[in-house]
Amino acid sequence: MSGAPVDPRLDRYRPLTRALQWALVACVALSGAAVVLPDPIGRWVGVAVVALLVGAPVARVLWLVARWFRRGDTRFALVGCGVLAVIAAGVVLAVLGV
């Protein structure tokens, strides 16, 4: 008895999962460093942790939007663009101090 046939689409999300795994490892390492390092350096490492925690999901949405547009699934791609627009609006409001 042989196993199920190999799905050729099995590895399609591998780059995304690898990137998110590396982002997780980097967040853990940088968080530990931010706690241990002295104030000016530790503070900047903490800022890098927050930037990575915000940037990784945004990069994930960007990757998915590009993939959906490339594959012709415009409905999902437009929803992803809407999510990115909401994030951009939040950044603009935060910068303006509203």
Residue 41 to residue 88: CA distance in whole angstroms: 28
Tens of pLDDT along the chain (98 residues) come to 567 777 777 788 888 899 999 999 999 999 999 999 999 999 999 999 999 999 999 999 999 999 999 999 999 999 999 999 999 999 999 999 87
Return the amino acid letter for 35.
V
Q: How many residues would you count in the chain?
A: 98
- Could you tell me which of 59, 58, 79 has the C-alpha nearest to residue 69? 79
Residue 88 to residue 83: CA distance in whole angstroms: 9
